[in-house]
């Protein structure tokens, strides 16, 4: 098994790269998706979030109001740290369970948005960083996700600087390119990952 950490700044195109890797045969463990699952109604995670932030972070039907919670934590580093202290251990436990279920020769790709921020690179056999210029990230967030420029800049500002992400990269995938070029680059990277996964672990 080859354990790969996949990260990139918001709007860099990490989701597109993870989709392409899955098409090639990767087992994807998506930290963001798991983070949503561990705070679904009835979970201990949601109870802990409400205990920490109050009933105001719930919608009328009892689900987590993610935009409201986001507006609270992204404006306050201490509150963001408090939320992470609740959610990250739950995500870690679930991720390990999914990883243990993967085949012995699998390429297991952990999609981890805050890998660099949280010093998680040592957990993986190698780290892939999807990279794009900040102006490209901003354009995608405003044009494709409908964020205001102010909100997009705020989300980018709480993430690690581009240089910090690149410093932990074993492989960099440039996503300031047309989709056809990205697809070719991911195919090349996949060939390397698959070979490594088949090699006996030392």
Structural domains for the chain? 1-26+106-202 (3.40.50.300), 33-104 (3.40.50.300)
Average pLDDT value for residue range 24-40: 94
pLDDT at res. 155: 87
CB–CB of 14/6 below 8 Å?
Answer: yes
Query: Is it the case that residue 7 has pLDDT exceeding 90?
Result: yes
3-state secondary structure of 46: helix
Average pLDDT value for residue range 8-29: 95
* pLDDT tens readout for residues 38-67: 999 999 999 999 999 999 999 999 999 999
pLDDT at res. 158: 84
How confident is the prediction for the chain on average, in pLDDT?
93
Nearest alpha-carbon partner for 83 in 42, 53, 56, 55: 53
Residues facing 128 on adjacent strands: 6, 171
Nearest alpha-carbon partner for 62 in 87, 42, 32, 45: 42
pLDDT at res. 113: 86
Query: Is it the case that residue 148 has pLDDT exceeding 60?
Result: yes
Strands 126-131 and 27-30, bridge-based pairing: unpaired
The span from the CA of 5 to the CA of 144, in Å, is: 25
pLDDT at res. 201: 60
CB–CB of 72/53 below 8 Å?
Answer: yes
Has this prediction a pTM greater than 0.85?
no
Query: How long is the chain?
Result: 202
* pLDDT tens readout for residues 67-88: 999 989 988 889 999 999 999 8
């Amino acid at each position: 098994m080859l354990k790969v950490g996949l990260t990139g700044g918001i709007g860099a195109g990490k989701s597109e790269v993870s989709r392409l890797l899955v098409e090639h045969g990767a087992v994807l463990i998506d930290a963001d998706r798991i983070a949503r699952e561990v705070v679904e109604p009835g979970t201990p995670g949601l109870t802990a979030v409400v205990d920490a932030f109050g009933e105001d972070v719930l919608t009328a039907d009892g689900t987590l109001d993610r935009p409201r919670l986001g507006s609270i934590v992204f404006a306050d580093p201490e509150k963001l740290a408090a939320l992470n202290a609740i959610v990250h251990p739950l995500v870690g436990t679930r991720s390990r369970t999914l990883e243990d279920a993967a085949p012995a020769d699998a390429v297991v790709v952990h999609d981890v948005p805050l890998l660099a921020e949280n010093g998680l690179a040592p957990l993986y056999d190698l780290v892939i960083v999807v990279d794009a210029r900040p102006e490209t990230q901003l354009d995608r967030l405003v044009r494709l996700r409908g964020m205001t420029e102010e909100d997009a800049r705020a989300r980018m500002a709480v993430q690690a600087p581009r240089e910090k992400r690149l410093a932990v990269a074993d492989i960099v995938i440039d996503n300031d390119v047309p989709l056809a070029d990205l697809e070719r680059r991911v195919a090349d990277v996949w060939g390397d990952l698959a070979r490594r996964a088949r090699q006996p672990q030392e």
